[in-house]
């Protein structure tokens, strides 16, 4: 009888250890998804979409798909984490051209001329308006002073990077015009002992500015 009682308590002890070990292996995992919104349901090269959210550099962006030139489309989308990302797409590989932020079929006209000895046929692309895709110049970068409130409500000054991107709006139509879009970001945040100067990329020491 004593031997049976001893075996019974040993069995209870071992069962308790197994349950404790199993409980210690339980873990919980959480995942965080950033808020990123897009209007064209992802990478649709035939629909002009807009994306709003944050880049991987923590830059707040709201931008639409646009043409870099007559071939290359800049397609913006939300990646699997929730950051705003982009890719360069060749419209020519799809037998199309880039126009107004999408890949479209090439519009062409064919003319035929006949002489007494031969017949020739030529195909030309008609361009309307005052600009064509990729024909409005290069991007430019400048720096200017700006201010904002931090998370605690304190005012701070910073150097703002301004990237000006020219583009042709409504290419291939009579309303085609060169326009620009601005991309803004914080280049350098000024400390209490620093000041911002328009045109300079970095904050400057107050002592150096006072001495000058």
What span, in angstroms and rounded, lies between the C-alpha atoms of 184 and 54? 13
Are 151 and 83 found together in one domain?
no
- In angstroms, the Cα distances linking 14 to 11, 24, 59, 65 are 5, 16, 57, 64
Asked if residue 9 is part of any domain, the answer here is no
Q: How many CB atoms lie within 10 A of CB 116?
A: 4
| Whether residue 160 sits in one domain with residue 95 | no
Asked if 54 and 61 touch (Cβ cutoff 8 Å), the reply is: yes
CA dist 87 and 49 (Å) reads 13
pLDDT in tens, the chain (212 residues): 555 555 566 665 555 544 444 444 444 444 456 789 988 777 888 888 898 999 888 889 898 999 989 889 999 889 888 899 989 999 988 888 998 889 988 755 444 554 445 555 554 455 678 888 878 888 999 999 999 998 899 999 999 999 999 998 888 888 888 999 999 999 999 999 999 999 999 999 988 777 76
- Secondary structure of residue 166 in the 3-state scheme: strand
- For residue 7, tell me if it sits in a domain: no
Domain total for the chain? 2
Is 139 in the same domain as 63?
no
Q: Are residues 139 and 87 in the same domain?
A: no
Question: Does residue 177 lie within any of the structural domains?
Answer: yes
Q: Do residue 67 and residue 133 come from a single domain?
A: no
Residues 71 and 145 in one domain: no
Q: Is the pTM of this model over 0.75?
A: no
Q: Residues, the chain, total?
A: 212
CA pair distance 201, 67, nearest whole angstrom: 29
Helix (H) or strand (E) holding 84: strand 84-90
Domain assignment of residue 171, given as a range: 128-212
Is residue 144 domain-shared with residue 210, that is, in the same domain?
yes
């Amino acid at each position: 009888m004593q031997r049976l009682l001893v075996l019974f308590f040993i069995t209870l002890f071992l069962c308790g250890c197994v349950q404790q070990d199993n409980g210690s292996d339980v873990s919980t995992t959480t995942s965080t998804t950033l808020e990123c919104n897009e209007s064209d349901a992802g990478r649709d090269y035939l629909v002009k979409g807009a994306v709003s959210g944050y880049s991987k550099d923590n830059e707040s962006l709201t931008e639409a798909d646009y043409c870099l030139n007559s071939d290359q489309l800049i397609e913006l989308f939300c990646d699997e984490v929730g950051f705003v990302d982009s890719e360069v797409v060749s419209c020519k590989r799809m037998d199309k051209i880039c126009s107004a932020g999408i890949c479209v079929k090439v519009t062409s006209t064919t003319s035929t001329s006949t002489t007494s000895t031969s017949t020739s046929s030529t195909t030309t692309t008609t361009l309307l308006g005052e600009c064509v895709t990729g024909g409005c110049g290069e991007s430019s970068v400048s720096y200017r002073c700006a201010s904002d409130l931090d998370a605690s409500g304190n005012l701070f000054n910073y150097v703002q990077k301004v990237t000006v991107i020219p583009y042709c709006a409504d290419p291939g139509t009579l309303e085609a015009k060169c326009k620009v879009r601005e991309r803004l970001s914080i280049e350098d945040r000024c400390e209490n002992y620093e000041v911002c100067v328009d045109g300079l990329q970095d904050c400057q020491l107050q002592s150096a500015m006072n001495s000058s």
